Amino acid sequence: MQLVWDGFVKALQLLCSGDPEVLGVTLLSLQISGLATGISLLIGLPLGTLLALHEFKTRRFWISLINTGMALPPVVVGLGVSIFLWRSGPLGDLRLMYTPIAIIIAQTVIAAPVVTGLTLAALQQLNPRLQLQLLGLGASRWQMIWLLWREARLPLLAALMAGFGSVISEVGASMMVGGNLRGQTRVLTTAIVLETSKGEFAAALALSMLLLLLAYLVNLFLTWVQQRQSKG
């Protein structure tokens, strides 16, 4: 219990002191995970909609692939992205390895299947007659899709929260493609691993509490938006 208390006290000290390194790591974590979640939304929302509203021969194969992707181990994603970004890899000339962009790519690969799969599930739960009713009332194809998104906005917001949650707490891929470089690619999760390996358990607990606080505040805002939409 003393270790937990020391971690809690140190977390308060870090928050109140405004330590620039801790603030930098926290802001970088939020920026990387936020961008990865946003890109995943841009990929997952239309892809999930396509799979939900269209029938084609290979549809079940793609759905099974998406469902499998929702359980992708982060270290496997990190290895796959590393192979592409290494100097000898197909994208090695871009020199993206051990940069924040590399972490964003890895986290996008992790979050995109989650957003896609939950978008697919959200739209499949809607009454299939709703599409016909909207088209019968004169709505265009794009208007129909927009109205279906509005109808399923609550589970779609849940998909957004799940996508963010899958990357803000991710460490394996970030460590492999980012390298945990101080002031460049060090995020909260990799910093926690570093402090733990050094035996600085109080510091690791303090950073863990900051990570939980960050995740809670983001999800608190998204939950507020979700519940406000529900009342509306």
Q: What is the pLDDT of residues 148-192, one digit of tens each?
A: 888 888 888 889 889 998 898 888 899 999 888 888 888 988 988
What's this model's pTM, rounded to 2 decimal places?
0.88
- The ranges assigned to domains in the chain are 2-231
pLDDT tier for residue 3 given thresholds of 50, 70 and 90: low
- Give CATH for domain 2-231: 1.10.3720.10
Span 73-127, pLDDT tens digits:
989 999 999 999 988 888 888 889 999 999 999 999 999 999 999 999 998 888 7
Residue 62 in this model has a pLDDT that exceeds 90: yes
| 3-state secondary structure string across the chain | CHHHHHHHHHHHHHHHHCCHHHHHHHHHHHHHHHHHHHHHHHHHHHHHHHHHHCCCCCHHHHHHHHHHHCCCCHHHHHHHHHHHHCCCCCCHHHCCCCCHHHHHHHHHHHHHHHHHHHHHHHHHCCCCHHHHHHHHCCCCHHHHHHHHHHHCHHHHHHHHHHHHHHHHCCCHHHHHHHCCCCCCCCCHHHHHHHHHHCCCHHHHHHHHHHHHHHHHHHHHHHHHHHHHHHHC
